[in-house]
Structures are given as C-alpha cells and as structure tokens.
Amino acid sequence: MIYQYKIQTLTQVELGVVLYICNELFDNKIKVDEHTITAYKEKALIAKLRAAKEKVKPEYLEFYGIICNKLGIDA
C-alpha cells in the first residue's frame, strides 16, 4: 500500500502526473484518484512509474525524477 503521507508530499501537478500514469498510460479497468491511489500496492506503483520512464520526454525527466524521489523510488 502507498502511504498517504507520501502522496501528500506531492504537489497537485505532481499528483496529476502520477494519476495520469496510473490511469492513462496503462490499460486499467479501475481508475484511481487522489483518494484511492493509496490502495495501490507499492510494488505495482513502482513498476508503473519505472515503465513510464521510457515514455517521458527528455525535457521532463528532471520533473519525473523529482516525483520518483518524493515517493522513494529509484528511477
């Protein structure tokens, strides 16, 4: 489970990016929002964020790194 305190460290823009990755970049039947993302298993979210790195434009890699750092993910 992703802890709420980790989600709260993200800005609204950063949270929006994480939600976009979870809901739009991968084929999911269940959509998450800022309240339900904490139900994600930590390993599943880490896997999605790592897989999404390939799709991040070079100019946004630093921003992506900040998000991963705040969530404690080595990307």
Task: Determine contact, residues 52/19, Cβ cutoff 8 Å.
Answer: no
| One-letter amino acid for residue 47 of the chain | A
Query: Tokens in use for 67?
Result: 């998000």
pLDDT of residue 1 exceeding 90, the answer is no
pLDDT of residue 75 exceeding 80, the answer is no
Residue 24: strand, helix, or coil: coil
Query: Tokens in use for 73?
Result: 């993910």
Q: Is the pTM of this model over 0.95?
A: no
Q: Which of 62, 74, 71 is nearest to 22 (CA)?
A: 71
DSSP 22: H
